[in-house]
Amino acid sequence: MLKTYRYSSLQAPDFERLLARNTDPSRNIEQLVTDILEDVKTNGDVALKKYAEKLDRVQLTQLYLTAEEIAALASTIGREQQRALEIAFANIYRFHETQLRKERAIETMPGVKCWREPRPIEKVGLYIPGGSAVLPSTLLMLGVPARIAGCKEIVVCSPPQADGKINGYIAYCLQLLKIDRIYLVGGAQAVAAMAYGTASVPRVDKIFGPGNQYVTKAKSLVQGLANVSIDMPAGPSEVLVIADGSANPEYVAADLLAQAEHGADSQAILVSTDPYLIDGVQTALKVQLAQLPRATVAEKALANSYAIVCGDLEEAIAFSNRYAPEHLILETDNWEPLLRKVSNAGSVFVGHLTPESAGDYASGTNHTLPTSGFARSYSGVSVDAFVKKITFQHITTDGLRNIGPTVEVLAELEGLQAHKNAVSLRLASIS
Task: Write down the pLDDT at residue 170.
Answer: 97
- φ/ψ bin of 273: left (φ > 0), alpha (ψ from -120 to 50), beta (otherwise): alpha
CATH architecture of the region 3-22+235-364: 3-Layer(aba) Sandwich (3.40)
- Whole-number Cα distances in Å, 304 to 19, 95, 118, 158, 297: 12, 34, 42, 27, 11
Task: Write down the pLDDT at residue 101.
Answer: 87
237 among annotated binding-site residues: yes
326 is catalytic: yes
Name the residue type at position 120.
P
Q: CB burial class (10 A; 0-12, 13-18, 19+) of residue 289? A: buried
Name the residue type at position 37.
L
327 is catalytic: yes
Q: Does 269 score more than 70 pLDDT?
A: yes
Q: Which of 238, 261, 299, 326 is catalytic?
A: 326
Q: Does 132 score more than 70 pLDDT?
A: no
pLDDT in tens, 363-403: 999 999 999 999 999 999 999 999 999 999 999 999 999 99
Q: Does 181 score more than 80 pLDDT?
A: yes
pLDDT in tens, 324-371: 999 999 999 999 999 999 999 999 999 999 999 999 999 999 999 999
360 among annotated binding-site residues: yes
Task: Write down the pLDDT at residue 131.
Answer: 65
352 among annotated binding-site residues: no
Measured between alpha carbons, how far is 72 from 78 in angstroms, rounded to an integer? 13
93 among annotated binding-site residues: no
Over range 233-259, report the average pLDDT: 96
Instruction: Write down the pTM of the prediction.
Output: 0.94
394 among annotated binding-site residues: no
Measured between alpha carbons, how far is 170 from 402 in angstroms, rounded to an integer? 58
What topology is assigned to 28-104+121-233 in CATH? Rossmann fold (3.40.50)
Q: Which of 96, 238, 261, 327 is catalytic?
A: 327
Measured between alpha carbons, how far is 262 from 294 in angstroms, rounded to an integer? 9
419 among annotated binding-site residues: yes
Determine the 3-state secondary structure of 394 from DSSP. Answer: strand
117 among annotated binding-site residues: no
pLDDT in tens, 195-240: 999 999 999 999 999 999 999 999 999 999 999 999 999 988 999 9
- Whole-number Cα distances in Å, 412 to 407, 417, 420, 426: 8, 6, 7, 16
- For CATH 3.40.50.1980, the residue range(s) in the chain are 3-22+235-364, 28-104+121-233
Would you state the torsion angle of the CA atoms of residues 329, 331, 335, 341, taken in this order, to the nearest 10 degrees? -40
189 among annotated binding-site residues: yes
Contact 239, 271 (CB under 8 A): no
Give the mean pLDDT of the chain: 96
- Whole-number Cα distances in Å, 175 to 139, 221, 327: 11, 32, 29
- Whole-number Cα distances in Å, 79 to 74, 115, 168: 11, 47, 12
> Among residues of the chain, what percentage have pLDDT more than 70?
99
Over range 408-425, report the average pLDDT: 98
Task: Write down the pLDDT at residue 102.
Answer: 87
Measured between alpha carbons, how far is 291 from 294 in angstroms, rounded to an integer? 9
